[in-house]
Structures are given as structure tokens and as C-alpha cells.
């Protein structure tokens, strides 16, 4: 008579839980489709960004959050910093381009666990997610090189964030609301930026920083 084996089937490895924070719904949907097609990855949510990032992450408890800083800019970087502080077990992977080295430099200061060039093939993102899930840090070489070029910026990360928001047309009051600061504090940041860059006006400071690749 045949004997039953006493060995239990091994439990399948839990999938990597991923949260997508991407402003463009078309790109967010496309990446969700690509990632969901992998047996070892589960997309637990997808949002455009804003104040819902941290509450959504707390609710879903992802292993990895993929954030598009190229489109979201400073607001997404602020969300990434808050996410890093509130959910340290959730590792962060950013999507960026070498054409915005200032954002890449600031993202690496968060710090993020992975950075993928948006011009790369989807398999690059898949590989990065898997490496980051293993506890490794993976930065796209093109982005790393771009970030090195802005290491000499005289501005602090907060000053860069304020100036970047100003470059997008936000007023001091709007910047204060987004960063949970007072309007006076924002004006002080902008004043210090102009002094450091020897700029005559805020527009001049934005131009100098943009030409240097800091924002």
C-alpha cells in the first residue's frame, strides 16, 4: 500500500506589495498592468499623489512605493520624505529623468532605495523592485551621474524645494500651505536663496538654479 508523504508543501513566497504614486493616470494604469502581470508582484493601490499618499500607504502597508518625481516634483519628494519617516519599512523607488538632476539629487537625500530612469525599459523597473525588496539599493547609472553634477549646489534641500515650487508658479502663500510652513518662513527661504545665488529677483534665482540643473 502506498504511503503518504509526511512532508508539507512549502508555502509560496508572499508577493511584493507595491503602491504606485504617479500623477498621470495613463502611465499609472500601464505600469499597474505590467507589474500585476508578474507572479511575485502585487499592486495594492495607485494614486496621483498629494495629501493622500501617506494615509493610503498606512492603509495598504506596501513593501515598496513607486513615486514619479519627474511629474510630481517637490510635492512628491515631500511625500517621499514623510513616507520614509512614518513607514520606514516601506522602501521607496522613484521614477526620474537625467534632465532634472536637481530632483534626482534631492531624492537620493531622502534617501530612496531605488531610482529608475523613465526612459528605460519596463524590465528595469521590475528588476529594481525585486532588488530593493531584497534590501539592496539600486540607482540607475544615468541618474547617479546626473546627480553628481549638482552636488555643488549652495542651497539646502528645503530651499531647493521652495524654489522649485516657485518656479512652477506657486505663490509664497501656496508654497506655505503645501509645505505646512508660515508665509513668512517661505519668504525668508526665498530671500536666502536670492542672497546665496546673488540674484536680483526671484525670477533671476529660478533661472540661475534651472541653468545649473539644481531644479
What are the boundaries of each domain within the chain? 16-148, 157-211
Tell me the β-bridge partners of 138: 114
- pTM: predicted TM-score of the whole model, two decimal places: 0.70
- Per 3-state DSSP, what percentage of the chain is helix, strand, and coil (rounded to 5)? 55, 15, 35
More confident: 26 or 146: 26
Q: How confident is the model at residue 134 (pLDDT cuts 50, 70, 90)?
A: very high
* pLDDT for the residue 3: 43
Residues in Cβ contact with 52 at an 8 Å cutoff, skipping those fewer than 6 apart? none
Model confidence at 9: pLDDT above 80 = no
Q: For residue 94, what pLDDT is reported?
A: 94
**Statement: residue 180 has pLDDT above 90:** no
Name which CATH class applies to 16-148: alpha beta
Give which of 209, 163, 204 is closest to 186, Cα–Cα. 163
Give the least confident one: 29-38, 126-135, 148-157.
148-157
Q: What is the pLDDT of residue 66?
A: 96
State pLDDT tens for residues 62-101. 999 999 988 877 778 888 888 889 999 999 999 998 877 7
Mean pLDDT, rounded, of the chain? 86
Res 36 pLDDT > 50: yes
Q: Which residue has the higher pLDDT, 151 or 194?
A: 194
**What pLDDT, on a 0 to 100 scale, did the predictor assign at position 6?**
42
Give percent of the chain above pLDDT 70. 92
Band of residue 149 on the pLDDT scale cut at 50, 70, 90: low
pLDDT of residue 151: 59
CATH T-level assignment (fold) for domain 157-211: Arc Repressor Mutant, subunit A (1.10.10)
Amino acid at each position: 500500500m502506498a504511503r503518504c508523504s509526511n512532508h508539507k508543501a512549502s508555502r509560496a513566497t508572499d508577493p511584493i506589495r507595491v503602491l504606485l504614486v504617479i500623477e498621470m493616470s495613463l502611465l499609472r494604469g500601464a505600469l499597474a498592468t505590467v507589474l500585476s502581470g508578474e507572479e511575485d508582484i502585487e499592486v495594492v493601490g495607485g494614486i496621483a499623489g498629494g495629501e493622500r499618499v501617506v494615509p493610503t500607504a498606512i492603509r495598504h502597508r506596501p513593501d515598496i512605493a513607486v513615486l514619479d518625481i519627474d511629474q510630481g516634483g517637490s510635492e512628491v519628494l515631500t511625500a517621499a520624505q514623510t513616507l520614509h519617516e512614518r513607514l520606514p519599512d516601506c522602501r521607496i523607488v522613484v521614477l526620474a529623468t537625467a534632465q532634472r538632476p536637481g530632483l534626482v539629487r534631492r531624492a537620493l537625500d531622502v534617501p530612496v532605495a531605488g531610482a529608475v530612469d523613465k526612459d528605460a525599459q519596463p524590465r528595469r523597473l521590475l528588476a529594481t523592485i525585486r532588488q530593493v525588496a531584497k534590501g539592496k539599493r539600486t540607482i540607475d547609472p544615468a541618474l547617479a551621474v546626473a546627480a553628481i553634477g549638482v552636488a555643488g549646489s549652495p542651497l539646502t534641500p528645503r530651499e531647493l524645494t521652495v524654489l522649485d515650487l516657485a518656479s512652477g508658479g506657486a505663490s509664497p502663500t501656496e508654497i506655505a500651505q503645501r509645505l505646512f510652513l508660515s508665509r513668512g518662513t517661505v519668504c525668508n527661504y526665498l530671500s536666502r536663496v536670492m542672497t546665496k545665488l546673488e540674484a536680483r529677483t526671484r525670477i533671476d534665482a529660478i533661472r540661475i538654479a534651472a541653468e545649473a540643473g539644481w531644479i
